[in-house]
Amino acid sequence: MKKRVALAALLCAGALACPAWAQHADHHAPAQASGNAASAELIEGEVVAAEPQNHRVKIKHGEIKSLNMAPMNAMPFHVKDDALFEHLKPGGKIRFTTAKIAGVYVLLTAEEAH
């Protein structure tokens, strides 16, 4: 009898922990999988400032429809890949993609606009 009670308690504890674990695992998943807003659209912008040492860039950009964001005078983005700074020169016109991951706007791709 004690084994059955212990087994039942163990199963209940596992069942209660599974949803919490699933939420925690979802928090660290890629933007598309976790429901964080991600932009597959190319957005037109102009680099206002580039700070490679801080992994940050300020961009004046047009509307970002996928994030429901109006055009901005200048907004900071976290740069995930330092190789992108090759295309991020102050005053330079770019096209980029972005995502909001864990509340932070992240620059995913960038290319010089022609």
Q: Where are the domains of the chain?
A: 2-34, 43-112
Q: Is the pLDDT of residue 60 over 70?
A: yes
Q: Is the pLDDT of residue 91 over 80?
A: yes
Note the pLDDT tens digit of each residue in 1-51.
Answer: 555 544 444 444 444 444 433 333 333 333 333 445 555 789 999 999 999
Six-digit token string for 70: 């109006």
Average pLDDT value over all residues in the chain = 76
- As a whole number of angstroms, the distance between CA 14 and CA 69 comes to 41
- As a whole number of angstroms, the distance between CA 93 and CA 52 comes to 18
Of 35-39, 82-86, 90-94, the one with minimum mean pLDDT is: 35-39
Give the pLDDT of residue 15.
Answer: 44
Architecture of domain 43-112: Beta Barrel (2.40)
Give the pLDDT of residue 1.
Answer: 54
Evaluate if pTM is beyond 0.85: no
Six-digit token string for 8: 């039942």
Of 31-35, 46-50, 70-74, 96-100, the one with minimum mean pLDDT is: 31-35
Six-digit token string for 56: 């940050």
